[in-house]
Amino acid sequence: MRGFYIGRFQPFHDGHLHMVEEIAEEVDELVLGIGSAGDSHSTRNPFTAGERVMMVTKAVEDLDLTTYVVPIEDLERNSVWVSHVQSMSPAFQVAYSNNPLVIRLFEEAGVEVRQSPMFRRDVLEGTELRERMIHDRDWQTLVPDAVVEVIEETDGVDRIRRIAETDSNGNSL
Ligand SMILES: Nc1ncnc2c1ncn2[C@@H]1O[C@H](COP(=O)(O)OP(=O)(O)OP(=O)(O)O)[C@@H](O)[C@H]1O
Ligand SMILES: NC(=O)c1ccc[n+]([C@@H]2O[C@H](COP(=O)(O)O)[C@@H](O)[C@H]2O)c1
């Protein structure tokens, strides 16, 4: 059986990895969707789709699981989003998410959805990690080593800090 798990992964953290490890117990193959793929260089979405493809690919490469990493851009119309996802992804039988909108859209389209409990959500949250990067507090112990390497290679912390200084769009973290 093949599963599908989408997130913005800004950045991919240990909560996401924990979820993938749990999913790996239930499926043979997993599609990892990079959500909001067209977004980058904002406080909420600092990393590009390509950077997130690197993070996710390297973070899961040691798992006993065939994975496909697929960037998926947002659409204006929620009503056709599941068809859009299906057109971009290898076929899957079950979708994994804790996001209420994602769950609703898949269920309405007749796709089985499975949720898993949040893992250490007090610290394992993208918003919290981005704040830690900006304020020079520990974030490295909360993401897979491969993600630390990608963020260092792409000078990601410097980008987040510059965006936080200059973002005049009123975007929240
Ligand atoms: N700590 C966690 N444990 C389990 N699942 C998580 C955890 N954090 C996020 N998820 C789930 O992973 C999916 C992708 O989440 P997402 O990329 O939005 O991360 P996030 O940590 O919620 O980030 P942000 O704060 O930027 O919204 C969602 O279904 C989300 O509920
Ligand atoms: N209409 C749409 O484009 C639409 C609808 C539902 C979810 N999504 C995307 O799916 C992803 C869900 O991931 P999160 O759980 O990380 O929010 C996000 O990138 C979100 O933008 C897009």
- CA end-to-end distance (rounded Å), the chain: 36
Whether 15 is covered by a domain: the verdict is yes
Q: How far is the CA of 108 from the centre of ligand 1 (A)?
A: 22
Q: How many other C-beta atoms are found inside a 10 Å radius of the C-beta of residue 71?
A: 16
Burial of 61 (0-12, 13-18, 19+ CB in 10 A): exposed
Whether 172 is covered by a domain: the verdict is no
What is this structure's pTM?
0.95
Question: How far is Cα 84 from Cα 69, in angstroms, rounded to an integer?
Answer: 16
Ligand 2 probe mutation, 36, 82, 124, most atoms within 8 A of CB? 36
> pLDDT at position 72, please?
98
Whether 88 is covered by a domain: the verdict is yes
Q: How far is the CA of 158 from the centre of ligand 1 (A)?
A: 23
> pLDDT at position 173, please?
53
Higher-confidence residue of 59 and 167: namely 59
127 lines ligand 1 (CB under 6 A): yes
Whether 71 is covered by a domain: the verdict is yes
Whether 151 is covered by a domain: the verdict is yes
Domain that holds residue 54: 2-166
| Mean pLDDT of the 35-55 span | 98
Whether 173 is covered by a domain: the verdict is no
108 lines ligand 2 (CB under 6 A): no
**Predicted-assembly ipTM surpassing the 0.85 threshold:** yes
Nearest ligand for residue 23 CA: 1
Percent helix, strand and coil across the chain, each rounded to 5? 45, 15, 45
The count of domains in the chain is 1
Whether 78 is covered by a domain: the verdict is yes
67 lines ligand 1 (CB under 6 A): no
Give the tens place of pLDDT for each residue, 66-118.
Answer: 999 999 999 999 999 999 999 999 999 999 999 999 999 999 999 999 998 89
CATH number of the CATH domain containing 118: 3.40.50.620
Ligand 1 atom closest to the Cα of residue 96 is: 29
Whether 44 is covered by a domain: the verdict is yes
